[in-house]
Amino acid sequence: MRHHPFNRNFRKHIPGNRFSGGRFSRGKGRNIKSSVHASQYVNKSQILDNKKAVEITHKFVDFAIDPRLKQNILNHGYTIPTPIQDQAIQPILDGRDVVGIANTGTGKTAAFLIPLINKILLNRNEKVLIIIPTRELAVQIKADLDAFSKSLQISSALCIGGSNIMMQIRQIQGNAHFTIGTPGRLKDLINRRVLNLSNYKNIVLDEVDRMVDIGFIKDIKFIISHLPRVRQSLFFSATVSQEINGIIQTFLTNPITISVKVYETAKNIDQDIVRVTDNNDKVFKLQSMLKNRGEFKKVLVFGRTKHGVEKLSKLLLLNGFSAASIHGNKSQNQRLRALNDFKQNLLQVLVATDVAARGLDIENVSHVINFDEPTSYNDYIHRIGRTGRADKMGKALTFVS
């Protein structure tokens, strides 16, 4: 391997740096071992027929919602609900508290947005708080809200870190119907006495397992403590641990539980491993794959550390690939620009830390490549869930030493 021209180029562009022992591998996560056995990364894909697996009992036109909202749903390309939408929309319209258990990429966002938009159309004094773990997911939910509520005079505030807080304060003070935010920024706005939750009688906790994983449990409990006792509470998660179950018990009142989670990983994702000897070998094999642009059209590559992700992204650019990165050291604008370019097929490769693994709906991702192994099987599930969406076939590859 040492004589391959790629390695000479790499040393030329990044002096003194070898993947196997240099600066690329540094970072607080470099010594973390994956708890996942390599055999769990191998699973032959199967073509799914969800109509046979889960009976859909509604069409969107069947729901008792405002005709203008129905038209926006149709304009957004929705005709037949997904299983979680089919089973959750009516109970939410009926005012029930709901616990929704579903794999990532199953349409949870529309399942709660549609009935809540209708609720506001019936009563303009209603307010909705949506709490999610990441900025990217908040931006995506805001985009879906704007599409479903087009021309309906429904206002919203997007409250996330890395963005101008004064603009967010103005949006809240402008009496926004929907407030969408991450726990840290929402807590900040509450402490500033800008966000008064006493009028928010509708709350959504989305991707709760992820919020617990990344340490937001105290912030969530703090926010919930400021909500009115009488409210409609909606709770969505892919998994329910003992800690999450504790939140459910204190957060919801007589909830209806809807579970459409059939498999731990989607059966329409072809999963396999790629054996590597060291980090130089990993990079060589990654680039060899990416050169086959006809197959590797739209590739999401996951690394463990922010520093490693940034180095890999720059290296791919130096070697002629259209690539960008998303990680915690990037500004919000940089992250959104990279994400939008990837969505619009202006990039072949997006290199990301696990910040991108939850909830993001990116169409037609051909491959997910785990350049660094995930630390847990749960992280693996959410990483590979970025491909094989909307019942399309996807591929996931994991580099294993």
Q: Which fold does the domain 55-259 belong to in CATH? A: Rossmann fold (3.40.50)
- φ and ψ at residue 333, rounded to 5 degrees: -65, -40
Over 90: is that where the pLDDT of 388 sits? no
Mean pLDDT of all residues in 46-63? 70
Over 90: is that where the pLDDT of 303 sits? yes
pLDDT at 22: 35
Over 90: is that where the pLDDT of 123 sits? yes
Rg of the chain over CA atoms, in angstroms?
22
Between 139 and 390, name the one with better pLDDT. 139
Give the pairing type, strands 128-131 and 178-181.
parallel
Cβ–Cβ < 8 Å for 356, 304? no
Cβ–Cβ < 8 Å for 354, 383? yes
Tokens of 271: 């999963």
Range picked from 26-35, 40-49, 255-264, 345-354 for highest mean pLDDT = 345-354
Over 60: is that where the pLDDT of 8 sits? no
In 3D space, the residue among 183, 107, 121 whose CA is nearest the CA of residue 155 turns out to be 121
Over 80: is that where the pLDDT of 118 sits? yes
Write out pLDDT tens, residues 81-97: 999 999 999 999 999 99
Over 80: is that where the pLDDT of 68 sits? yes
pTM, full prediction: 0.67
In 3D space, the residue among 287, 354, 348 whose CA is nearest the CA of residue 327 turns out to be 354
* Residue 370 pLDDT grade (very low, low, confident, very high; cuts 50, 70, 90): very high
pLDDT at 50: 46
pLDDT at 17: 38
Cβ–Cβ < 8 Å for 99, 121? no
Over 50: is that where the pLDDT of 246 sits? yes
Over 50: is that where the pLDDT of 74 sits? yes
Q: What does DSSP assign to residue 289?
A: H
Rounded to whole angstroms, how far apart are CA atoms 49 and 250? 37
Q: If DSSP codes are grouped into helix, strand and coil, which group holds residue 357?
A: coil
pLDDT at 260: 84
* Residue 247 pLDDT grade (very low, low, confident, very high; cuts 50, 70, 90): confident
pLDDT at 71: 96
In 3D space, the residue among 69, 173, 194 whose CA is nearest the CA of residue 120 turns out to be 69
The overall average pLDDT reported for the chain is 85
Rounded to whole angstroms, how far apart are CA atoms 33 and 178? 41
Mean pLDDT of all residues in 266-284? 90
Residue by residue, DSSP assigns 318-383 as HTT--EEEE-TTS-HHHHHHHHHHHHTTS-SEEEE-GGGSSS---TT--EEEESS--SSHHHHHHH
The label of the residue with tokens 């390599």 reads 38
Write out pLDDT tens, residues 311-356: 999 999 999 999 999 988 888 788 889 989 999 999 999 999 987 6
* Residue 44 pLDDT grade (very low, low, confident, very high; cuts 50, 70, 90): confident
Cβ–Cβ < 8 Å for 35, 375? yes
Q: Where in the chain is the domain with CATH 3.40.50.300?
A: 5-47+265-400, 55-259
* Residue 35 pLDDT grade (very low, low, confident, very high; cuts 50, 70, 90): confident
Write out pLDDT tens, residues 145-199: 999 999 999 999 999 988 899 999 999 999 999 999 999 999 999 999 999 999 9
Q: Does CATH number 3.30.360.10 belong to domain 5-47+265-400? A: no
pLDDT at 264: 54
Contacts of 225 (CB under 8 A, 6+ apart): none
pLDDT at 390: 66
